[in-house]
């Protein structure tokens, strides 16, 4: 069995469509939910932050089990279909409820379901392409993901202007149905499930031994990367919801359209960033690109406090396209580098997603508390300080992972098991 595979035209287009339609679904309602709860139900900022944090924390408990499931199951397409349908149901019933407990429940169900999307796409992609073409395929996945987010945000802004913020929930449901149709066209026979879990065809690679938690706990580079990811998302996740709430106070009618404009602007920048990663990460290396992405984040936090002008805020949000675009494309590639050949790719991906998901889940709560006590500027500067710590750790402690070979990964894993 060779790790070099040829992807069919059908699977190429199906993966493109899947990433396009899942884009809005897997990222959740985010700032739109904040606007809806603030504008329609007049929730306090701390309550909004808490329900978003609660949903994020709930999603954390599924990350590692989702990775383990995807390592084991040969029904990866069915996992995506079931999760997409649950997200659809959770989205379309939101306009009919308003209590904290029910809103929190729908968001928890949606977050639990959406937690499988990113690792499932990574697993299917790796199983179809093999590790040698995985970087290019991941860059393409992220390109269509960001294009889907941009289109969904543009539609959300236009429809919300005419019909109100409630239309966003129905749009997410429609995108989820599109993802179900797309994944059904992927040929199940062309997914190599051994490759999909990060195994290689070598007698020294035992594909049935223990879970990826031990890889996480004994791999210094993987731990360092996990902490960097957690700090990045602790800083980044709350920035756009904060901007959205700020826009709602400036002009309530334009808050949703302007938030959509912020998302569209950032996503349009993410498209070339993802293409850049796919084209150059194998030649330039991972770390220089990742450092550039991390450096943008503290800069954004400082720039947000310089003006309340909506168009200034929109301009600053463009920078999110650079940082998040680079990070999103590099994340599965670096995890693949550090676990290649161990058969633990998806579990390790789930474990790291849990760590940085914790940062993302805590971010709105932290920002909401600072906002309520000290105002928007203090909240943005707090997030910028966290981002600075993430960049510093990445610069000083994270190695370049491009040179990690299949043999290195197996040797590290075997050395651990022998001890």
User: For the residues 78-101, what does the mean pLDDT come to?
Assistant: 84
Listed in sequence order, the residues at least 6 apart from 228 whose beta carbon sits closer than 8 Å to its beta carbon are 294, 390, 393, 394, 398
Q: Does the structure show a pLDDT above 70 at 407? A: no
pLDDT in tens, 225-247: 999 999 999 999 888 888 877 77
Between residues 261 and 399, the one the model is more confident about: 399
| Sequence ranges of the domains in the chain | 9-200+211-418
Q: Does the structure show a pLDDT above 90 at 381? A: yes
User: For the residues 291-308, what does the mean pLDDT come to?
Assistant: 92
Give the pLDDT score at 200: 60
| Torsion of the alpha carbons at 292, 293, 294 and 298, rounded to the nearest 10 | 100
d(CA 140, CA 146): 10
13 pLDDT band, cuts 50/70/90, is very high
Between residues 153 and 74, the one the model is more confident about: 74
294 pLDDT band, cuts 50/70/90, is very high
d(CA 327, CA 244): 23
Choose the CATH number for 9-200+211-418 among 2.130.10.10, 1.20.1250.20, 3.90.1150.10, 3.10.129.10.
Answer: 1.20.1250.20
Give the pLDDT score at 295: 95
pLDDT in tens, 305-358: 998 888 888 888 888 889 988 998 999 999 988 887 777 788 888 888 888 888
The overall average pLDDT reported for the chain is 81
pLDDT in tens, 121-151: 999 998 898 887 888 999 999 899 888 887 8
- 256 and 370 in contact (C-beta within 8 Å)? no
Give the pLDDT score at 255: 64
209 pLDDT band, cuts 50/70/90, is very low
Give the pLDDT score at 253: 65
pLDDT in tens, 185-200: 998 888 888 888 877 6
Between residues 263 and 278, the one the model is more confident about: 278
| Torsion of the alpha carbons at 269, 352, 412 and 401, rounded to the nearest 10 | 10
The total of other beta-carbon atoms located within 10 Å of residue 99's CB is: 9
User: For the residues 163-179, what does the mean pLDDT come to?
Assistant: 82
């Amino acid at each position: 069995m060779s790790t070099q595979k040829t992807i069919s035209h059908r699977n190429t287009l199906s993966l493109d469509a899947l990433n396009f339609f899942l884009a809005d679904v897997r990222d959740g309602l985010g700032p739109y939910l904040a606007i809806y709860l603030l504008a329609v139900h007049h929730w306090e900022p701390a309550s909004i932050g808490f329900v978003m944090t609660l949903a994020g924390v709930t999603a954390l408990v599924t990350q590692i089990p989702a990775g383990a499931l995807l390592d084991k199951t040969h029904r990866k397409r069915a996992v995506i279909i079931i999760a997409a349908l649950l997200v659809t149901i959770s989205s379309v019933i939101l306009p009919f409820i308003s209590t904290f407990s029910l809103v929190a429940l729908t968001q928890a169900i949606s977050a639990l379901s959406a937690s499988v999307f990113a690792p499932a796409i990574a697993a299917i992609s790796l199983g179809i392409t093999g590790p040698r073409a995985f970087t290019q395929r991941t860059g393409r996945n992220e390109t269509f993901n960001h294009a889907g987010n941009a289109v969904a945000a543009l539609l959300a802004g236009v429809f919300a202007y005419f019909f109100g913020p409630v239309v966003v929930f129905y749009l997410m449901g429609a995108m989820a149905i599109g993802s179900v149709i797309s994944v059904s066209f992927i040929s199940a026979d062309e997914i190599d499930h051994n490759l999909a879990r990060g195994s290689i065809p070598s007698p020294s690679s035992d594909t049935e031994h223990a879970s990826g938690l031990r890889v996480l706990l004994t791999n210094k580079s993987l731990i360092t990367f996990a902490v960097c990811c957690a700090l990045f998302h602790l800083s980044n996740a709350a920035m756009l919801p904060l901007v959205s709430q700020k826009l709602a106070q400036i002009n309530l009618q334009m808050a949703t359209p302007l938030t959509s404009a912020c998302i569209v602007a950032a996503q349009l920048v993410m498209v070339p960033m993802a293409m850049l990663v796919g084209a150059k990460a194998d030649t330039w290396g991972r770390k220089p690109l990742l450092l550039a992405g991390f450096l943008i984040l503290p800069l954004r936090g400082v720039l947000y406090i310089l003006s309340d002008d909506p168009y200034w805020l929109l301009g600053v949000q463009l920078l999110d396209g650079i940082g998040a675009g680079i990070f999103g494309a590099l994340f599965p590639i670096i995890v693949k580098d550090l676990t290649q050949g161990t058969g633990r790719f998806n579990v390790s991906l789930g474990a790291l997603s849990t760590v940085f998901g914790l940062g993302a889940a805590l971010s709105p709560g932290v920002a909401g508390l600072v906002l309520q006590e000290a105002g928007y500027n203090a909240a943005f500067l707090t997030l910028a300080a966290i981002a600075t710590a993430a960049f510093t750790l990445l610069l000083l402690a994270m190695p370049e992972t491009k040179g990690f070979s299949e043999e290195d990964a197996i040797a590290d894993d075997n050395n651990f098991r022998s001890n």
